[in-house]
């Protein structure tokens, strides 16, 4: 048996033709959905990727599993879908972005061997990494900048990555630029 679960950042169900969008055609996703299970009543548990993925992997709310930002690791004893599938004799792997982060302090305390499969699973939310991709190619398939950064720069938003520097950042009470992805900064307005 094979289980393929597709989890996308920023893909709304109402933008898929298998969920009834009248103009957008998504034939490959539609074909998979036609042969599989569609979750038509599933809801995102957090606005950030990491906490949201951790909720799916664990089946728990963010306040319960403790992953509050994209940099937070799951607690060492937190079991995930990958752990349960592995215990059932399946090879549970992740392709793409898992938002898993290494918990060096906990693995050291419990003498988890560096480089071991156990360490790899702990670093990737219970899955073995098959091919990880966090959105950055060293040798890009597409141009690194499709013109959007130039557009932002031409409108006064400078920097190497104006999207990150301006739209995904805020200024805190001390005048410091902070990440808009972190919950503690969620009440601050974006710099744009």
pLDDT digits over 162-184, tens only?
877 877 788 888 988 888 777 77
49: annotated active-site residue:
yes
pLDDT band at 135 (very low <50, low <70, confident <90, very high): low
Average pLDDT (110-128) is 85
55 and 4 assigned to the same domain: no
Catalytic residue among 8, 18, 44, 49: 49
Domain of 33, in residue numbers: 1-42
128 and 49 assigned to the same domain: yes
Alpha helix locations (H) across 36-161? Answer: 49-58, 62-65, 81-87, 104-109, 117-123, 148-154
110 and 63 assigned to the same domain: yes
**pLDDT exceeds 60 at position 141:** no
What value does the mean pLDDT of the chain take?
Answer: 82
Rounded to two decimals, what is the model's pTM?
0.65
Compute the distance between CA of residue 66 and CA of residue 126 in angstroms, rounded to an integer.
16
Average pLDDT (26-35) is 93
CA atoms within 13 A on the CB side of 20: 2
127 and 72 assigned to the same domain: yes
For residue 157, the model assigns a pLDDT of: 86
Q: Based on the structure, what is the number of domains in the chain?
A: 3
């Amino acid at each position: 048996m094979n289980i393929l679960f597709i989890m996308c950042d920023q893909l709304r169900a109402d933008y898929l033709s298998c969920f009834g969008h009248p103009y957008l055609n998504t034939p490959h996703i539609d074909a998979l959905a036609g042969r599989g299970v569609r979750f038509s009543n599933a809801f995102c548990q957090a606005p950030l990727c990491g906490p949201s993925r951790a909720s799916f992997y664990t089946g728990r709310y963010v306040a319960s599993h403790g992953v509050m930002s994209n940099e937070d690791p799951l607690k060492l004893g937190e079991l995930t879908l990958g752990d349960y599938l592995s215990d059932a004799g399946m090879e549970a792997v992740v392709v793409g972005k898992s938002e898993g982060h290494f918990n060096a302090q906990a693995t050291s305390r419990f003498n988890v061997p560096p480089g071991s499969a156990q360490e790899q699973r702990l670093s990737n939310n219970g899955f073995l990494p098959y091919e990880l991709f966090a959105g950055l190619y060293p040798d890009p398939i597409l141009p690194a900048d499709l013109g959007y950064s130039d557009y932002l720069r031409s409108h006064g938003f400078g920097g190497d990555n104006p999207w990150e520097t301006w739209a995904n950042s805020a200024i805190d009470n001390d005048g410091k630029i902070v990440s808009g992805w972190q919950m503690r900064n969620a009440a601050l307005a974006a710099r744009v």
